[in-house]
Amino acid sequence: MKLILKEYLASLKERGDLDKVLLPNLLSAMGLQVLKTPMIGTRQDGVDISAVGQLPDDDQKYLYLLCVKAGDVGRNDWDAGPQSVRPELQEILDVYIGSKIAKEHHDLPIKICLCMGGELKETVEGNWAGFTQKNATSEVCFELWNGDRLAGFMERSLLARELLDEAARRHFQKALAMVNEPEACYEYTRSFVAIVLPQEEMKDKERLLRLRQAYIGLHVICAWAIEARSLDVVYRISELGLLFCWDAMREQPIEPKPTKHQVTLTEILDQYVRLYLMMSELYFEKVLYPHAETLHALTVSVKSREAVDANLAMFDLIGRAATRAIWTDLFGKALSEANPEFARYLSDQTAKMLDILVALINNNPTLGSPFKDDHMIEAALVMYLAQQTSSGRRFMPWFHAMAENTSFALLTNASYPTCFRDYNDLLAHPASSEQEYRNEACVGSVLYPYLFVWLQYGDEQDLIEEFSRRLSEKIPDCSHQAWFPDEETDQKVWRGDTYHGICITDLSPSRGHAEIADTLNLAIKECGAILEMTVMKRGLVPLFLTACRHYRLPIPPTLWVPPQSHSDVAPVEPNS
């Protein structure tokens, strides 16, 4: 285990990984009170992290001042500029200790720690020894925290046998061993997180420890998966960790003046969200951005002769892209006053992803012909993003294409959307042209009523009538449905239990838009459990949408009913 942790530490970058991800969580787990973490754009005066307390190996309470460096520290890192080790250590002595220490900590002895993910190279061992001997006093001492020592801290304080169940350690190690096998790695990671974050009451201190353990474990697995270039694993487990983190903390009450524990929980959730955003960006930089503008490039990259493989992969990709843009849109708006510069960056990311989504649809025609009925989820995510960004009209031609293609596929007995989920069934679909088979393959649908409702906002009456006629002719017994959460959903959805919720039927397009709209409006009014979910009350709608996509639950009409006005969804050319 220690060797695994040492390799992980050596791979971490200084900014964002070692100083933001690992060390604050590790110090807190060891019982220290973290006073300061790095801030972008502010002067550090040599100190990246400060903390106060007593470590198990120390004889008294100290003020710890940490100077953090990534990887190994060699001659070029020692004294080659203002960001090198020696100038920063000198700045701690000259500036920070003299002017930045709070009054309540003035009487504490100080321990200046040089932290690094790797090792102090032999070429600068003499420089370190000379500097520390010259500047050490009765009140100030120095320590070297290299990768080996940090790995020891992690073993004792986060992943120790006494703190971490043996089964969790076993699943964690198996996940690391299987990073080249995405499905196996995901399942082992899921088992690891489920054990570390069980569904049971926990004391505040234990909950924080377990959330930190799960976070560090996820980060270690992500680091190894990145090294192995297994980016699908990176995306999926970062998303999984976010859902489990929320489940572990969602029942904490909201106070007008948050307690210290609640503030810490919010900070940990922020770390899980950042992990998801970072890992998803890595995934898209490799998989999506370079190829979205090239015709058929992403479809061909699936490297399969089976059309179903390309279709499944493209819808999975567009769902992931839309979900991330929904997150960046939320934070871009929420931070517009608190952090305008970062908010602008997030807004630019959202606008970039909208353009990418349009290019993805235009350059990969398979997206106009969903093979699975639950691809309604991806369509709803894209349109939810479009509604939030007032760009719905850009995607109406896509909806027209899906309505035309899916209904025409019914007429020709081609690959029309089916409720089958088993891969072998999808591969053989359609296995027969008989009506009996078609009734089984389309026994229920959430896609068709969704498309029908949105088609009303395209002012294409001929298309709407033809779409409805084809459905009535070819799948007259199909149960057109919509799904709503119920009172149990908030307890079950975050861990993947899908046996909950309320199904609203009788949404057949043959009834006409007015009757369907009345049925949906009444259902939205009566099925109000979604509004009572803690995630909704706290304004984290993207988190619920993430859970729906991750576990393949339909998006509820509460979140996708079209606007009353047609202005934002008037049809224009797809390439707008």
**DSSP β-ladder status, 140-145 and 110-116:** parallel
Looking at domain 1-163, its CATH class is alpha beta
Q: How confident is the model at residue 430 (pLDDT cuts 50, 70, 90)?
A: very high
State residue 572's pLDDT score. Answer: 35
State residue 70's pLDDT score. Answer: 84
For a pLDDT cut of 90, what percent of the chain falls above it? 70
State residue 9's pLDDT score. Answer: 80
Mean pLDDT over residues 60-66, rounded? 93
State residue 566's pLDDT score. Answer: 47
Instruction: Round to whole Å and give the CA distance between 293 and 296.
Output: 9
Mean pLDDT over residues 140-168, rounded? 84
Most confident by average pLDDT, 15-19, 169-173, 233-237:
233-237
Q: How confident is the model at residue 57 (pLDDT cuts 50, 70, 90)?
A: confident
Q: Using one digit for the tens of pLDDT, what is the confidence trace for 180-191?
A: 999 999 999 999
Mean pLDDT over residues 3-28, rounded? 77
Q: Across the chain, what does the average pLDDT equal?
A: 90
Going from N- to C-terminal start, the domains of the chain cover 1-163, 164-288, 368-559
Mean pLDDT over residues 276-300, rounded? 96
For a pLDDT cut of 70, what percent of the chain falls above it? 95
Q: Using one digit for the tens of pLDDT, what is the confidence trace for 519-529?
A: 999 999 999 99
Mean pLDDT over residues 253-274, rounded? 87
State residue 375's pLDDT score. Answer: 98
pTM exceeds 0.75, yes or no:
yes
- Smallest CA-to-CA distance from 73 within 44, 132, 112, 115 is with 115
Q: How confident is the model at residue 550 (pLDDT cuts 50, 70, 90)?
A: very high
Backbone angles phi, psi at 278, to 5 degrees: -65, -45
Mean pLDDT over residues 489-494, rounded? 96
Instruction: Round to whole Å and give the CA distance between 488 and 463.
Output: 39
The CA-to-CA distance between both ends of the chain, in Å, stands at: 53
State residue 401's pLDDT score. Answer: 95
- Smallest CA-to-CA distance from 471 within 532, 403, 519, 546 is with 403
Q: How confident is the model at residue 361 (pLDDT cuts 50, 70, 90)?
A: very high
The tokens for 569 are: 């969804």
**DSSP β-ladder status, 444-445 and 62-69:** unpaired
Residue burial 203-222, b: 16+ Cβ < 10 Å; e: rest? eeeebbbbbbbbbbbbbbbb
Mean pLDDT over residues 194-198, rounded? 95
* Dihedral in degrees, nearest 10, Cα atoms 137, 22, 79, 148: 80
State residue 21's pLDDT score. Answer: 73
**DSSP β-ladder status, 49-53 and 140-145:** unpaired
Asked whether the predicted pLDDT for residue 91 surpasses 80, the reply is yes
Alpha carbon distances (Å) from 367 to 316, 317, 363, 414, 529: 10, 10, 9, 15, 33
